[in-house]
Amino acid sequence: MDNYTLSAKSFGNFCLKNAPIFILVIFIALFLSTFQELYERWIKWDESLSHGLLVNGIFVFLIYKTLPWNRESNKKILQLAILILLASSSLIWLIAKLTNISIIEQSSLIIMFALLCAACFGMRTAYNLRLLLILPFFTIPIWDQLIDSLVNLSGYVVGLWVQLSNIPAIIEGNSIMIPYGHIVIADGCSGLRYLEIALSLGFIISLLNNYNEKQLLPTLIIAGIMGLVANWLRIFILVLVGYFSKMQSSLMSNHEYFGWALFAILCLPAIYFAPVHKAELKKSLTAKKPILLIPLLALSIGPLFNIIINADPHPHKLTNLVTQTSDIIGSAKLPVTVTAPDTPQSEQIELLDGANFIYVEIDQYQRNTAKDKLVPYISRLYNNEVWLANTYNLSNSDLSAIVFKLKTSEQHYIAQIQWFEIGDRITNSLRKAKLLQIPALIKSENDFRIVTLQMSCENSNCDAAFDRLSHLAGRFTRLHPPQ
């Protein structure tokens, strides 16, 4: 009996000491669908989140090193406020998931886990571990929003270096044209991977050395600069190699390892010489029973409503929406390809409007299972490596208007009008289309369409083309285009 009591007590102490790990497991189970989406990004070693599994492994290890966590009781009003924020964050996660806004959906995980820790173990404990709790921010795709800015910055810096090197080159945006070929600074050359990994390393070093915020900030600034410089050097050296080898060097097509070698040369010495503080992560000396039931119930609101709302859809057979008329010449691809995900139903036609050729594409989507998104993930609707895009505001219309210019030609311009239909609603904004998924799902509407009209312009002034496209817009939808 005494041995049984002793074993039960030992098991109880084990569970009490490792309560944060058990809570983390429950948290992952509640939001498993989001973690599965992230996991698919983490295992793609050629993308910007290929360090995700390693950083999250370090996160779990550092949590283990801080055990046991002591529960510091919150005041009743503070505990109530934390529970309200926890439930609200869970509902925000639900809305973001239903509307396919991955940034908010995935970022809310970190906020919810921090609030869960504060509710279970007390605000003081969560505050002492605040830097550790935000480490997973380096493993979510929130950084993807920097790609366009980083591409432009890389194009500017490398273009400046090329000009200073006196290499004959034409620099246009993110394109560098040398006498022997065309070098494009694409999304993969933005330097995002180097930036994220450099920041992650700087943050982990700061945690291990027990830096405070004042010491952490300059560490991250230095790490970020070194990550970006490594990428700029990589691109600049590739331009030099391309020029002097007349684009024949194997490095032009296989430069992945070369980039990481440069990154290591710059960053490893900085890691070695980083100031060391011989102090451990803050940890509690004793463990008290955490508060679990009410915080976990508040956290479960979002996943519970997700099960209720996100029921299985009722897919139907998709058909053509355009009626055949005499002015339709036949099928033809758009001059500027719409880079949307594969669609089960796409109409691509060409018609003759007076002396003008109009190109029309209608892409239709629907949900086949509850896991599908009504509005699929779309990062960009055109190929920015080939086309430069300028957005225009049309008078007396809310239609989305863009003039595309072919990078390799000074006289190739395409005017485009585009909008999105979600059930019986219409918008010219992809972000609004994502938000409109919520009423569409509640009403069991299961249709999403992208309508695109294009025609050529003689020069960068496409006003006449936009007038024709606007006039014809209402013909190619069962709804009324935005006015």
Say how far apart CA 439 and CA 157 lie, in whole Å.
45
Read off the amino acid at residue 208: L
Say how far apart CA 481 and CA 426 lie, in whole Å.
7
Per-residue pLDDT averaged across 398-416, rounded? 83
pLDDT number for residue 287: 54
DSSP secondary structure letters along 223-268:
HHHHHHHHHHHHHHHHHHHHHHTTT-SGGGT--HHHHHHHHHHHHH
Q: Which residues contact 210 (CB under 8 A, 6 or more apart)?
A: 277, 279, 280, 281, 282
Q: Which of 481, 458, 459, 457 is nearest to 471 (CA)?
A: 481
pLDDT confidence tier of residue 150, bands split at 50, 70 and 90:
confident
Q: Of 361-365, 394-398, 439-443, give the lowest mean pLDDT range.
A: 394-398
Three-state secondary-structure class, residue 178: strand
pLDDT number for residue 92: 92
Is the pLDDT score of 198 beyond 80? yes
Torsional class of 343: left (φ above 0), alpha (ψ -120 to 50), beta (otherwise): beta
Residue 156, both tokens: 């500017």
Read off the amino acid at residue 138: F
pLDDT number for residue 135: 93
pLDDT confidence tier of residue 255, bands split at 50, 70 and 90:
low
Q: Which residue has the tokens 């010495």?
A: 269
Task: Give me the residue spans of the domains in the chain.
Answer: 2-143+283-309, 145-272, 328-476
pLDDT number for residue 30: 93
Q: Of 9-13, 70-74, 206-210, give the lowest mean pLDDT range.
A: 9-13
Per-residue pLDDT averaged across 428-457, rounded? 85
CB-based contact 454:416 (threshold 8 Å): yes
pLDDT number for residue 7: 61
Q: Which of 48, 37, 28, 30 is nearest to 377 (CA)?
A: 37
- 12-19, long-range: CB < 8 A, 24+ apart: 13/287, 16/68, 16/287, 16/288, 16/289, 17/67, 17/68, 17/287, 18/67, 18/68, 19/68, 19/69, 19/120, 19/287, 19/290
Is the pLDDT score of 116 beyond 90? yes
Tell me: cis bond preceding 68? Omega within 30 of 0 counts.
yes
pLDDT confidence tier of residue 346, bands split at 50, 70 and 90:
confident
What's the angle, vertex CA 244, arms to CA 241 and CA 247, rounded to 5? 65
Is the pLDDT score of 111 beyond 90? yes
405-417: burial string, b at 16+ Cβ within 10 Å, e else = bebeeeeebbbbb
Q: Which residues contact 299 (CB under 8 A, 6 or more apart)?
A: 27, 30, 86, 87, 90, 112, 116
Q: Of 63-67, 320-324, 449-453, give the lowest mean pLDDT range.
A: 320-324
Higher pLDDT, 281 or 75: 75
Q: Of 18-27, 127-136, 319-328, give the lowest mean pLDDT range.
A: 319-328
Is the pLDDT score of 399 beyond 50? yes
Is the pLDDT score of 483 beyond 50? no
pLDDT confidence tier of residue 13, bands split at 50, 70 and 90:
low
Is the pLDDT score of 482 beyond 50? no
Per-residue pLDDT averaged across 289-296, rounded? 81
Is the pLDDT score of 412 beyond 70? yes
DSSP secondary structure letters along 105-173:
HHHHHHHHHHHHHHHHH-HHHHHHTHHHHTGGGGGSGGGGGGHHHHHHHHHHHHHHHHHHTT---EEET
Per-residue pLDDT averaged across 253-258, rounded? 68
Best mean pLDDT range from 60-69, 95-104, 113-122, 326-335: 113-122
Beta-ladder partners of 403: 390, 415
Say how far apart CA 397 and CA 481 lie, in whole Å.
9
Per-residue pLDDT averaged across 407-419, rounded? 84
- DSSP structural state of residue 359: E
Is the pLDDT score of 393 beyond 70? yes
What are the two backbone dihedrals, phi and then psi, of residue 252, each rounded to the nearest 5 degrees?
-70, -30
Say how far apart CA 170 and CA 175 lie, in whole Å.
8
Percent of the chain with pLDDT over 90: 16
pLDDT number for residue 91: 93
345-376: burial string, b at 16+ Cβ within 10 Å, e else = ebbbbbbeeeeeebbbbbbbbbbeeeeebbbb
pLDDT confidence tier of residue 177, bands split at 50, 70 and 90:
confident
Three-state SS string over 183-217 comes to EECCHHHCCHHHHHHHHHHHHHHHHHCCCCHHHHH
Percent of the chain with pLDDT over 70: 87
Q: Of 118-127, 222-231, 272-281, 371-380, give the lowest mean pLDDT range.
A: 272-281
Say how far apart CA 341 and CA 328 lie, in whole Å.
26
pLDDT number for residue 29: 93
What is the residue-averaged pLDDT of the chain? Answer: 81
Q: Can you state the percent helix, strand and coil of the chain, rounding each to 5?
A: 50, 15, 35
pLDDT number for residue 3: 54
Beta-ladder partners of 421: 426, 449
What are the two backbone dihedrals, phi and then psi, of residue 70, each rounded to the nearest 5 degrees?
-90, 135
pLDDT confidence tier of residue 252, bands split at 50, 70 and 90:
low
Q: Which of 310, 341, 357, 324 is nearest to 476 (CA)?
A: 324
What are the two backbone dihedrals, phi and then psi, of residue 229, each rounded to the nearest 5 degrees?
-60, -40
Say how far apart CA 383 and CA 393 lie, in whole Å.
21
Helix axes 192-208, 147-164, angle to 10 degrees: 110
Higher pLDDT, 21 or 185: 21
Q: What is the pTM of this model?
A: 0.71
